[in-house]
Amino acid sequence: MINKRIKQLIKKFSKYDIDGYIIPKNDEFFSEYAAIDRLKTISNFDGSAGLAVVLKKKNYLFVDGRYTIQAQLQSGKLFKIIEIHKFLPHKILKNLTLGFDPHLHTKRQLFGYFGKSLDLKQINNNLIDEIYKKKNIKTKKFFSLKNNIAGENYKNKINRIRKILKSNKADYVFISAPENVAWTLNIRGSDNPNSPIPNCRLIIGKTNEIFLITQKQKISKIIKEGKLSIKQIVNPKKFKDLIEKLKGKKFIIDHLSCSVLNEKIIQSKFKIINKNDPCYKLKSIKNSSEIKNMINAHIEDGVALTKFIYWIKNINKNKITEIDSQNKLEKFRKLNKNYLFPSFNTISGTGSNGAIVHYRASKKTNKDIKKNDIFLCDSGGQYKYGTTDVTRTICFSKQKNSIKNKFTKVLKGHIAVATANLKKLNTGKKVDLVARQFLKKDGLDYAHGTGHGVGFFSNVHEGPQSITKINTVKLMEGMVVSNEPGYYKKGHYGIRIENLVYIKKNNKNLCFENLTLAPIDYDLINLVYID
């Protein structure tokens, strides 16, 4: 099936006079979890990040270190798998003309990946959509969060954004990332799996102007509430007309989420100020209500997860599979009336599957969970007032000291992060070092960051904060991040221990405060290595 689609795509190259075509993971809203997955359509790869280039005689799939094993298993027969942090596309591809959809790329993304060594040709109609007709997606209405959930009135948030506009001497800001629109207006939706984010965009002017770019039928509830008027709702097809009507000189756009197409439209009339959308930093610092609600969400999630861990270790005596286990965990979560849906696709991997960092069980890969296995379960939930993400590694029999030693070193790294002095270790880059120190002594490491930012009833992955080898964003009070060091022995097992933490002020110092409430498997700890 995939091979057939690739051949159909290549047939179109002559029509557009191109040597290849670029297929990103993201949709036109640059969502991590999108309803339309063109990359999977053409490659069979279903990880959350990646980029494919299909050429006339060779195909490449670029992924980060989390997905190299998964990509090889899912797409390795038809695509050459490249770890993108080691080899960017422009270092491999030379003297080619590549077609791209301007709705799905930013200028920064294209330049970063392909540089100036390749000729990039804009094709406004998506070639994947031409060979594989997507299903009609039902229109789902947006809804508002109550003030006691959001913790801050949307009008106040808009005023904060307008102050930033004035300080940058700009007339407008284009909020192109839907999660930032959701935060600004205190609205949510159901346009994508795993995320309560409404697909829409927003323009805020320095005075009273505000325009929400979306379909009117999606926003009827919001209009009834008086949050916006019908005149402030603009159909996406009328975006160019709106820009032409606006008066002013300077426009802030976000180079992370403003598409090539939309940037060209704005640039046709305004001077562009290219910088990070101010909402990223504003929403990363959770207010007291958001923190309180996140705590409550984690208490409820912890009940479900603890029941699951007890069940799988002590009660279950039947033959169960990876899919059986993730379904059981979902049933425990569904017992809570405030639970909505998973915050990402559950990773339920036993034995060698646990070594695939972002593994997803399928009918083809589904394994029985055996007594001697190490079982890794990474899951999370979207609750009405919070987002969770937690990983536990579980055993069912006495394990070799070599495995227990690795688990204990990961645990020590986890504890080192949880107890980090954030006055001294004030960036994710600095914290990441302490997480890896115990494995490093044995020459070991893991191919992913130690932690990512987490949204409030939003995306499970959020920036700009993270705990990685390169992140230099200052860690601030109110930020929420994951703490998830790991170790993976290819073909054998995976170990990861993940909690969510938030940053709080303790006297005059900042520290991590734990959010996740679920037991860590005592049977995997080598007490000899605990100081």
Same domain, 263 and 289: no
Same domain, 497 and 404: yes
Same domain, 272 and 303: no
Q: For all residues of the chain together, what is the average pLDDT?
A: 93
**For the chain, percent of residues with pLDDT exceeding 90:** 76
Same domain, 376 and 521: yes
- Quick check: is 136 in a domain? no
Q: What is residue 49's predicted lDDT score, i.e. its pLDDT?
A: 84
* Cα distance between residue 50 and residue 55, in whole Å: 17
Residue 212 token pair: 């929400």
Q: How confident is the model at residue 510 (pLDDT cuts 50, 70, 90)?
A: very high
Same domain, 90 and 174: no
Domain boundary among 81, 107, 131: 131
pLDDT in tens, 280-307: 999 999 999 999 999 999 999 999 999 9
Q: How far is CA 223 from CA 227, 232, 475, in A?
A: 6, 10, 37
Q: What is residue 224's predicted lDDT score, i.e. its pLDDT?
A: 87
Lowest-confidence range among 79-88, 384-393, 436-445, 446-455? 79-88
Q: What is residue 136's predicted lDDT score, i.e. its pLDDT?
A: 67
487-525: string of b/e by CB count within 10 Å (b at 16+)? bbbeeebbbbbbbbbbbeeeeeebbbeebbbbebbeebb
Mean pLDDT of 178-194: 94
Q: What is residue 102's predicted lDDT score, i.e. its pLDDT?
A: 95
Same domain, 176 and 205: yes
Q: How confident is the model at residue 90 (pLDDT cuts 50, 70, 90)?
A: confident
Mean pLDDT of 402-416: 96
Range of the domain at 324: 285-529
Lowest-confidence range among 73-77, 244-248, 470-474? 73-77
Tell me which DSSP letter residue 276 carries: -
- Quick check: is 302 in a domain? yes
Domain boundary among 61, 96, 131: 131
Q: How far is CA 303 from CA 89, 335, 498, 499, in A?
A: 45, 10, 16, 15
Q: What is residue 203's predicted lDDT score, i.e. its pLDDT?
A: 97
Q: Is-contact 379 358, C-beta < 8 A?
A: no
- Quick check: is 137 in a domain? no
Same domain, 462 and 511: yes
Lowest-confidence range among 30-39, 119-128, 169-178, 377-386? 30-39
Bridge partners (DSSP) listed for residue 23: 52
- Quick check: is 124 in a domain? yes
pLDDT in tens, 328-387: 999 999 999 999 999 999 999 999 999 998 888 989 899 999 999 999 999 999 999 999
- Quick check: is 138 in a domain? no
Instruction: 321-326: list long-range contacts, CB under 8 Å, 24+ apart.
Output: 321/361, 321/366, 321/367, 321/368, 321/369, 322/348, 322/349, 322/350, 322/353, 322/361, 322/365, 322/366, 322/367, 322/369, 323/348, 323/361, 323/366, 325/369, 325/375, 325/377, 326/361, 326/377, 326/379
Q: How far is CA 380 from CA 150, 171, 363, 448, in A?
A: 20, 40, 22, 18
Phi-psi region of 229 (alpha: psi -120 to 50; beta: other; left: phi over 0): beta
Same domain, 345 and 297: yes
- Quick check: is 358 in a domain? yes
Tell me which DSSP letter residue 198 carries: -
Asked whether residue 138 carries a pLDDT value surpassing 80, the answer given is no
Q: In the chain, how many domains are there?
A: 3
- Quick check: is 217 in a domain? yes
State the CATH number of the domain containing residue 152. Answer: 3.40.350.10
* Cα distance between residue 303 and residue 482, in whole Å: 19
Tell me which DSSP letter residue 317 carries: -
Q: How far is CA 479 from CA 130, 302, 413, 505, 513, in A?
A: 42, 20, 20, 11, 11
Same domain, 274 and 203: yes
Q: What is residue 251's predicted lDDT score, i.e. its pLDDT?
A: 95
- Quick check: is 495 in a domain? yes
State the CATH number of the domain containing residue 461. Answer: 3.90.230.10
Same domain, 278 and 312: no
Same domain, 93 and 165: no
Same domain, 235 and 317: no
Greater confidence (412 vs 88) lies with 412
Domain boundary among 131, 152, 185: 131
